[in-house]
């Protein structure tokens, strides 16, 4: 039987070489990629965050845990990628806001959007507001997605939403935000973005909703 406790432990301890095999074992037993990610791998990263807060681990351990998580996601990626409708639902520009280097959650959202039929332009991490605006214009995106994991990123989320809303793209592009640092109240009321999603599955639902595909 697939050892999911061992999988979580391997991520928490940053055992990058063990994680792919443990993920594969769970897949071989018929467990769905979504269940493995949402109910086991993300849980492990939450535990990593808690241990960091409690000063039981530090940045280097957090970094090796992130690498182990990524090694597991590489096994799952091709499976989730199947079934995309070739970008027919339109283009989404996605990035992590200025000052923030966290990319795992953003990349999961991108994976889910692509597999649901969106074309995604990934701007990466630490993305200034002006770059979101430029890219949305260049790629004629219908939707821009901002990911933010740090509370210190709040001003940049607000500034990026404002930059998009005050640009010539106003009314042409919707803006959705997500990431552990954000709350629906901050995103919708303070930033006046068009939508907030707490996770990757909700992000796909929201993207379809905002663009009228729901």
Q: Which of 18, 103, 154, 194 binds ligand B1M (CB under 6 A)?
A: 103
Q: Does residue 187 interact with ligand B1M by CB under 6 A?
A: no
Residue 81: CB minimum distance to ligand B1M, A: 16
Q: Which is nearer to ligand B1M, 27 or 201 (CB)?
A: 201
> Which of 129, 103, 63, 90 is closest to 208 using CA atoms?
90
Q: Which of 100, 114, 154, 194 binds ligand B1M (CB under 6 A)?
A: 100
Residues 33-62 that bind ligand B1M (CB under 6 A): 42, 45-46, 48-49, 52-53, 59, 62
- Binding segment toward ligand B1M, per CB under 6 A, in 5-13, 22-30, 77-85, 99-107: 99-107
Those residues whose C-beta lies under 8 Å from the C-beta of residue 6, and which sit 6 or more positions away, are 18, 22
Residue 1: CB minimum distance to ligand B1M, A: 25
Count of C-beta atoms within a 10 Å radius of residue 119: 18
Q: Does residue 150 interact with ligand B1M by CB under 6 A?
A: yes
Q: Does residue 204 interact with ligand B1M by CB under 6 A?
A: no
Please tell me the distance from the alpha carbon of residue 32 to that of residue 55, in angstroms, as a whole number.
34
Yes or no: say if 156 and 148 are a contact pair by the CB < 8 Å rule: yes
Using the Cα atoms of residue 56, residue 12, residue 67 and residue 16 in order, give the sign of their dihedral.
positive
Per-position b or e across 177-213, b if 16+ CB within 10 A of its CB: bbbebbeeebbeeebebbbbbebbbbbbbbbbbbeee
Q: Does residue 200 interact with ligand B1M by CB under 6 A?
A: yes
Q: Does residue 90 interact with ligand B1M by CB under 6 A?
A: no
Edge-first strand order for the sheet with 195-196 is: 119-122, 91-96, 143-147, 174-178, 195-196
- Binding site residues, ligand B1M, CB under 6 A: 42, 45-46, 48-49, 52-53, 59, 62-63, 66, 99-106, 108-109, 145-147, 149-151, 176-181, 197, 199-200, 203
């Amino acid at each position: 039987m697939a050892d999911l406790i061992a999988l979580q432990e391997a991520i928490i301890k940053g055992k990058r070489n063990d994680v792919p095999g443990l993920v594969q074992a769970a897949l071989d037993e018929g467990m769905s990629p979504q269940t493995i990610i949402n109910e086991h791998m993300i849980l492990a990263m939450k535990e990593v965050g808690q241990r960091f807060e409690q000063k039981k681990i530090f940045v280097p351990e957090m970094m090796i845990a992130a690498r182990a998580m990524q090694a597991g996601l590489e096994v799952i990626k091709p499976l989730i990628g199947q079934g995309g409708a070739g970008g027919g639902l339109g283009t989404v520009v996605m990035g992590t806001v200025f000052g923030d280097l966290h990319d795992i959650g953003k990349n999961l959202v991108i994976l889910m959007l692509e597999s649901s039929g969106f074309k995604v332009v990934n701007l990466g991490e630490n993305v200034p507001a002006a770059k979101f605006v430029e890219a949305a214009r260049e790629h004629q995106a219908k939707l821009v997605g901002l990911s933010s994991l740090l509370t210190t990123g709040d001003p940049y989320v607000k500034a990026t939403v404002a930059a998009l809303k005050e640009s010539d793209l106003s009314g042409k592009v919707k803006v959705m935000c997500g990431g552990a640092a954000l709350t629906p109240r901050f995103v919708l009321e303070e930033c006046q973005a068009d939508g907030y999603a707490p996770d990757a599955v909700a992000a796909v639902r929201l993207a379809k909703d905002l663009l009228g595909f729901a």
